[in-house]
Structure 1
Amino acid sequence: MDGLNVLPLAVTMMVGPQIMSAIIFVTTPRPVRVSLGFLAGVAAAATVGTAIALGLASLFDLGDPGDSGSSGKIIQYVLVGLLAAAALKNWVRRETIQPPKWLGTLMSADTKRALKVGLLVILLMPSDIVVMLTVGTHLGQTDANFAEALPFIAATVLIAALPLLFLLVFHHRATAAMPHVREWMNTHSWLINILACVIFIVLILA
């Protein structure tokens, strides 16, 4: 994936309810087991979603990535428009936007439910679908195989694992800090969503 910056793409994949879920899981009574289930779901969903995006891209002639009028570039411009609209919507509604209600139910999640959440927050989140479509479009334009997407998938899982890694390395500090981080993200979810859109727009246009 020479033309894409893997780490910012992975960050964009996890910004929002995705990373908030990971933070909540490390504050549950069984944080390690539940978090590992979540990570397994994220890994599976990112792998399947990217493979599907690449498969869809391979069905069309996307043209030369350097051609601003190619089908692949047009698709990317449409994605930029959608992201800009999403960012504007979050700004306009910033006073009333609340995190999804289902986030509040994750404190009692077991490993099976955490796995399911990991799958769904990747496969059903519009922002993640856009990211994976962009990755698939880029791979299709450069005639790359699926192996080229593995660094992106690995980076996504690594970002998702950061709360768990922080807990394992700084156990007592992490236990005290994570609830405060979770609360800040709850009250600033609109800002997080806007930042994710802006980062991704920059990546597509770069």
Structure 2
Amino acid sequence: MDLKILPLAITMMAGPQIIAALVLVTTRQPVRVSLAFLAGAAVATSAGVALARGLFGLFGNVVPLGDPADTGSVGNLIQFGLVALLVAVAIRAFLRRRTAEPPGWLTGLMEAGAAHALATGILVILAMPSDIVVMLTVGAHMAHGGEDFTAAVGFIAATVLIAALPLLVLVAAGRRAREAMPSVRDWLNSHSWVVTIATCVVFVFLLL
């Protein structure tokens, strides 16, 4: 397990992703639909990371990625470029913080069944530009270090754990948690940009 990529698990769930998890714990069958959502998130993250690792592995066979200790190596330059994209996403989130509104599909989750929640768990990972950039960054980092898919298990587990936090709180606190979830959801919806920026800063620090 590579500890450098673990902070990116927070970025994976910052924004509509964690808000979706919060909405699902307020439905009629919170445990069932939340578990389906987590299964979708786990499958999507695993598939995305595996694909990214494979793509950069193939690229490395054509253009050597170089020594990870060499900051000027092709592998490090690729990672720096991907980190720049993450920073651009964070800046965009900051600039739009006052006008950003929750996606319309979040409203439909209030009546979601297990199948709907499963599909949502997949789509909030594979259809989000920020998550695609994160998974590409993880794949590039692994390929550059010559690591196989097992090195990403910790990252995938951390992503799913963060997605599971609303459900874990609900199970632990019961009715009080259900009553508090709407306020938490609203706060995260308006402050997710803070989490995104903080995570990017941590990752850049670790990478450099």
Aligned partner of 1:114 in structure 2 is 117
Q: Tell me the distance in 2 between the aligned counterparts of 1:5 and 1:192.
A: 16
2:151 counterpart residue number: 148
Note closer, same or farther for the CA distance 1:5–1:187 as it changes in structure 2 (3 Å cut): closer
- The gaps in structure 1 that reach 5 residues or longer are none
Matching of residues 70-85 of structure 1 within 5 Å: 70-85=73-88
Number of equivalenced pairs = 204
1:148-172 CA distance string (max 9 Å, x none): 2111111111111111011111102
Q: Distance in 2 between matches of 1:27 and 1:3?
A: 33
Q: How far 1:3 moved relative to its partner?
A: 5.5
The secondary structure found in structure 1 opposite 2:49 is helix
Which residue identity lines up with residue 43 of structure 2 in the other structure?
A
Say if 2:131 is the partner of 1:128.
yes
CA shift, 1:181, in A, is 0.5
Work out whether residues 97 and 190 of structure 1, in 8 Å CA contact, stay in contact via their aligned partners in 2.
Answer: no
> For 1:109-147, what per-residue CA distance to the aligned partner results, in whole angstroms no more than 9, with x for missing partners?
111010001001111111211221121112111211111
1:63 pairs with 2:66: yes
Deviations 1:69-90 (A, max 9, x none): 1111111111122222222222
Give the direction of change, closer, same or farther, for the CA distance of 1:169–1:56 in structure 2 (3 Å limit): same
- Report the Cα offset of residue 196 of structure 1: 4.5
Query: Residues 1-28 of structure 1, C-alpha deviation per residue, up to 9 Å, x if partnerless?
Result: 436142x221121111111111110011
Alignment map for 1:146-185 (pairs within 5 Å): 146-185=149-188
Q: For 1:184-199, list aligned pairs within 5 A.
A: 184-199=187-202
* Matches of 1:21 and 1:128, distance apart in 2: 15
Partners of 2:30 and 2:127 in 1: CA distance: 24
Partners of 1:82 and 1:2 in 2: how far apart? 21
**In structure 1, C-alpha distance between the alignment counterparts of 2:192 and 2:141, rounded to whole Å:** 29
* TM value normalised by structure 2: 0.90
| Deviation for aligned residue 1:193 | 4.2
Residues 88 and 76 of structure 1: CA distance in aligned 2, closer, same or farther (over 3 Å): same
Asked if the contact 2:86–2:134 (Cα under 8 Å) also holds between the matched residues in 1, the reply is no
Per-residue CA shift, 1:7-59, capped at 9, x if unaligned? Answer: x2211211111111111100111100100110010010011111101101111
Task: Give, in whole Å, the separation in 2 of the partners of 1:103 and 1:40.
Answer: 18
Alignment of 1:1-150 (within 5 A): 1-2=1-2, 4-6=4-6, 8-59=7-58, 60=60, 61-150=64-153
Name the % identity: 56
Alpha carbons of structure 1 residues 104 and 193: separation in structure 2 relative to 1, 3 Å: farther
Confirm or deny: 8 A CA contact 2:83 2:137 kept in the other structure. no
Q: Deviations over 1:183-205 (max 9, x none)?
A: 222333444444444444444x3
RMSD: 1.8
Task: Give the TM-score, by structure 1 length.
Answer: 0.91
